[in-house]
Each structure stands twice: as C-alpha cells, then as structure tokens.
Amino acid sequence: MPPQVPQPDAKPILATGDAATRALSVAPVETDFVEEVYEDISCWYDWWFGPTLHAGRLESIGRLGIRPGDQVLEVGVGTGINAALYPKDCHVTGIDLSASMLEKGAKRLAKRGVRNVRLMQMDAESLTFPDDSFDIVYAPYTISVVSDPIKVVHEMRRVCRPGGRFVFLNHFLSEHPFGAKVERLISPLTVYAGFKADLDLPAFLVQAGLEPVSIEKVNIPRIWSLVTCQKD
C-alpha cells in the first residue's frame, strides 16, 4: 500500500531562513536524564499518556500501510501500548531505553497473547540493527523525548530498507505565536514528564534533510502530527 497523501487538514511546512541553524528546543536533555525520567514515570505512564494519546495511536497505525509479512521497527515502544494494535500478520520489533518501561511492556504482551512483537532494550541514537533491516520504522511520541532527534532520524533512515517508510508521530511547536511562546516557557518543565513541548518541526526537517511524503494532523485535539518519509 503506498504512503498516504496529505489530508485536507495538513498545512505546508514553511522553513524560515534560520531553520538550518536554530535550536530544535529551548530544553536540551542528555540520554542519561531521559532514561532516569522514564524509569521514574513508568509507574504512572499508562494512566496518563495511555488514554490521552490513544486516538492518535489508532489513527496512525491505520495509516502506516502495513502489509502481511512486513518487518516493522517501533522506536520508543515504552510499555507496549501500541503492541496489541499491530496486524497479527506483520513482525514487530519494539525498542526502548528504559528497562522499567520494557518490563511493563512484556507483561502487557504476555497478558494479551501478542506473539508477533519482540522487545529489546536499545538506545534509539545508536541502533544495533544492520542497514536496510525494516520495511517500516515508526517512532510514536518519541522524537521530542530523545536527546538528539537528528541522530535518531538518521538511524531510523539507515535501518529502513530502500523504498520503505520511516514515520514520526509527535507534537511539535505551535504554528501560532502565542501558543509557541507558551510551549517554549513550559518546555523546561515538561522534560520532567518525559517530553519537550517545543520541538521545532521546520528546523527538524531541514536539519535532518527530510522531505516528507505527507504531514497529517492526528489525535484529539489535532495538535499532533504524523510525518511520513520514504527512503529512496
């Protein structure tokens, strides 16, 4: 199934002149900090981020165009909330930095009898898979979590096979000046809840060298974006 074309609610991303050099967020974090935060929040992650983000999970997996037999990599699998949503005739590898999150994910898979998903502890900035290993590489609610989003996207593209798709589901900095100002103000606080509120999408695309096939709004409210890219 070919990638989805942009939906009517998707707006073109216009990069300003400094997009190639400006900071992606006002709240830089290190990998050790990210791991510690997710070890701490693993006990309540499902309670808060489960229902609030689930509509976007369902909508986005339906748009991935997964075919029977596809090899799928989920970057930032967390507690495995997505795991039960994948078609049973594909093969999914889920990686995460946090051992506590993966432990909860393993229990979820066992409880639901999910057999086509394997979980591995791994740093998204340094994937150990060979080049061209997966048909689809999917990062749901992950790019605003990691310390180096550009390095992560390069790794995702590397392990994606030629002709395959690598896809990001994420909240990005608001296009509206007031909303953007608020998100920049709160981002140094939201990192303690596991995400940066102000990740700059135009700067991210330019600095990562990405030309998306589509950018679609998902979730309720529709302030999250599903960014689909194809590896030539």
Domains of the chain in start order, with CATH, are 31-230 (3.40.50.150)
Top-ranked range on mean pLDDT: pick from 41-50, 55-64, 74-83, 127-136: 127-136
Nearest to 230 by CA among 206, 210, 202: 210
Output the six-digit token pair for 229.
């890219």
Taking CA atoms, 214 is separated from 33, 35, 78, 166, in Å, by 32, 31, 25, 11
Tell me the pLDDT of the chain averaged across its residues: 91
Q: What is the pTM of this model?
A: 0.89
Q: How confident is the model at residue 220 (pLDDT cuts 50, 70, 90)?
A: confident
Q: How confident is the model at residue 17 (pLDDT cuts 50, 70, 90)?
A: low
pLDDT tens, 33-43? 999 999 999 98
pLDDT tens, 159-211? 999 999 999 999 999 999 999 999 999 999 999 999 999 999 999 999 999 99
Is 74's pLDDT higher than 90?
A: yes
